[in-house]
Amino acid sequence: MSETIHYHSTRGGSPAVTIGQAITAGLAPDGGLYVPEALPQLDPAAFDPHGTLADSAATLLAPFFAGDALAAELPAICAEALDLHTPLRPLAYGNANVLELFHGPTAAFKDVGARFLAACMRRLPRADARPLTILVATSGDTGAAVAAAFHRQPNVRVVILYPDGLVSPRQAHQLGCFGDNVAALRVAGRFDDCQRMVKAALNDAGLQAAVPLSSANSISLGRLLPQMSYYAHAALGWWRGHGTPLNVIVPTGNLGNAMACLWVRAIGLPIGEVQLACNANATLPEFFSGADYRPRDAVATLANAMDVGAPSNFERLRWTFPDPAMLRALLQAHSVDDTAIRHTIAHHARDHDEVFCPHTATAVHRLDRLRAAGDTADWTVVATAHPAKFEGVVEPLIGHPLAVPAALASMLARSASAEPLAATDAALHDWLTR
């Protein structure tokens, strides 16, 4: 076993910890995000060419867990959490693939990280015998994935905060349908408010003493690291078959999914070009076109899980690539507005019999623009959710009802409820301590 790998804060003001401690804490004590002291390097030859996603994940993540008590359990954690299909499927029109990440229990890629985090947390020792409250701010999909992963787990409670009226009806139903140890709070604000409230609660030492808290947001390494596994698995399969790296277009909001992809490239696996497809929230596209980084309030779009004005993983991106000029040279980001999302969904259903969710459609639109500009490279678009989660947007555009995946259908058949909450840090504090 290699040397222990330590994690420190992007803000540099927190003691170094092991992966288990970083996962337990969620956010570093100085408010920064945990990052490894250095990214390990991996050789494609280390991976079993016939392995499953879980096998690839166990190989990929071993150096990230080195020296922690969880390291011995990593293969079991991967087998339990990553028993999911993430197929790389060719699209019907030239030189393009789709990496489908929506075959988990809640029909969005958030299942991968949430299930892995839950499998780690089940095995992590806790000094405190009181129940652990896992706070999760969601723009729509994370909350359900985390709830599904922790539902009925002993000594854990999940508290979901989501922006009231800004998630799809089916997303809202999913968030409210668990009950038991899961509470859904519909916040009178935007996703950024929910995210700010969760961060404030986690940084509140007095509150933490009264109510042991942890987070399950995309800032958690317990979610970010497993998201690397589907990129590694797909890229290695592609590279073995074609001898070229996988070029990827990632629908992006908080930058968790794209950050995982970039780390896979940074550790030496065959990811080629990476482009970020954003919705009308243009914080990242503006930064990448040369402007200063300017976080702002989010605007509501059809791709609601990407309605983020202050991407929380930006601090990790900056840590990974500290020189802004180099960062801008490495990556592109483009904004796709609602008109283009609608057009893309309708056009691909009509001409190619492919139905995409509004988030995936931002990446598909980016691919269409590349093709229109004469680009002929192989590209893979990342499909982050099943279109049936957004039937209110998608069905009128394609003109027919969508089949609902079985897991989603069974959640929709249950009753659902959520409590209202004001969008203030004090309101969450009061709710948690009442």
Q: Which of 160, 202, 305, 421 binds ligand PLP (CB under 6 A)?
A: 305
Tell me the angle at which helices 74-81 and 221-242 cross, rounded to the nearest 10 degrees. Answer: 80
Residues 200-219 interacting with ligand PLP (rule: CB under 6 A)? 218
Please work out the total of residues on this chain that contact ligand PLP, with binding judged by CB under 6 A.
17
What's the rounded Cα separation, in Å, for the pair 79 and 110? 17
Task: Report the side by side order of strands in the sheet with 88-90.
Answer: 88-90, 96-100, 379-383, 246-251, 271-278, 332-335
Q: In the set 186, 265, 359, 366, which binds ligand PLP (CB under 6 A)?
A: 359
Judged by CB under 6 A, the chain residues 124 through 143 that form the site for ligand PLP are 141
* 275 sits near ligand PLP (criterion: CB under 6 A): no
Of 24 and 279, CB closest to ligand PLP:
279
For residues 91 and 85, the answer to whether their CB atoms sit within 8 Å is: no
From candidates 110, 186, 265, 348, binder to ligand PLP by CB under 6 A? 110
H runs (alpha helix) in 82-220? 110-123, 142-150, 169-176, 191-202, 205-210
CB of 339 to ligand PLP, least distance (A): 19
Write the burial class of residue 382 (CB in 10 Å: 0-12 exposed, 13-18 middle, 19+ buried): buried
The minimum distance between CB 271 and ligand PLP, in angstroms, equals: 16
Residue 251 beta carbon to ligand PLP: minimum distance, rounded to whole angstroms: 4
For position 283 contacting ligand PLP by CB under 6 A, the verdict is: no
Contact flag: residue 384 with ligand PLP (CB under 6 A): yes
Q: Binding residue for ligand PLP (CB under 6 A) from 159, 306, 341, 361? A: 306
Decide if residue 252 touches ligand PLP (CB under 6 A).
yes
The Cα-based distances of 57 to 18, 61, 228, 267, 309 in angstroms read: 19, 6, 8, 14, 31
Position among 9, 257, 281, 344 found at the interface with ligand PLP (CB under 6 A): 257
Considering the rule CB under 6 A, would residue 147 count as an interface residue with ligand PLP?
no
For residue 385, state whether it binds ligand PLP (rule: CB under 6 A).
yes
Under the criterion CB under 6 A, does residue 226 sit at the interface with ligand PLP? no
Length of the chain: 434
3-state secondary structure 208-260: HHHCCEEECCCCCHHHHHHHHHHHHHHHHHHHHHHCCCEEEEEECCCCHHHHH
Q: Please answer whether residues 218 and 211 qualify as being in contact, where contact means their C-beta atoms are separated by less than 8 angstroms.
A: no
Residues within the interface to ligand PLP (CB under 6 A): 108, 110, 141, 218, 251-258, 305-306, 359, 384-385
